[in-house]
Amino acid sequence: SYMTAWLKCHYPAEFMSAFMSAHIKEKAKLAEFVDDCGAIGLKVSGIDINESEGKMTPVRKTAPDSPDIVFGLEGLNGISGKLSAVIVAYRQRHGRFASLDDFMRNAPDGLVNAATLVTLAKVGAFDGLGVNRRALATSSAEVVAFYKDVSRNATRGQRSIFDVMGSNDHDVYQFPGIEDWSFIDKLKMEKAIAGPYVSARPLQNVGRGMSYLRAASHIPIITAADLSRATGPGTFRPPAFLTCP
């Protein structure tokens, strides 16, 4: 209709956010819609525990590379509307999560389990907090058990020596020192869980390289003869690394 076309033309981020939110559990359609966003110049960001809301959200662009739309938590397999609402409500009351430790300490009992952490880890929801995706995904059960003990001890009023000393380093889960997944492996996991690629695209660097090659193809080649004519006969000497032995 005319109104639909008008909205898409004048408010593209708002229009596409609402459209994608209406199909947020349909992975194949979401992938198509994200491609459509790119075709009209809209950037859809990846999942971020401090930025994502339940649905797709239009945001004001603050820089050329900043997103127009933030991907919603409910677009992930295994993330309920109840959990996303709790996360958003907490941020509205207390501000952004400072760390994974902060998130786990304030997550309601029973809402964040090992499977939930694996899902959030694999799509990079904690990347902004400096969390290694692979380390969190492979240690998710241990992380949940660790913070259950922390919560249980706090309820019982038990305090460690670090509490008495006023240290901020107490009761923080220590991840194993393992290498994170490769760029391509991360993208494969994102697509499996969210539908579209959310943090990047597999061939984006290839595309950037091709644009450089296209630009370079228009640069005129300057020969030794050209330089000799410009500087005078016999004055140009090529560098040693350009000469044959």
Q: What is the pLDDT of residues 180-228, one digit of tens each?
A: 999 999 999 999 999 998 888 775 554 555 444 455 455 455 555 555 5
pLDDT in the model for residue 198: 82
pLDDT in the model for residue 158: 56
Residues in the chain predicted with pLDDT less than 70, given as ranges, are 157-170, 203-245
pLDDT in the model for residue 131: 97
Record the pTM: 0.77
Question: Alpha carbon of 184 to those of 71, 93, 131: distances in Å?
Answer: 20, 37, 18
pLDDT in the model for residue 153: 84
pLDDT in the model for residue 222: 52
pLDDT in the model for residue 233: 57
pLDDT in the model for residue 240: 47
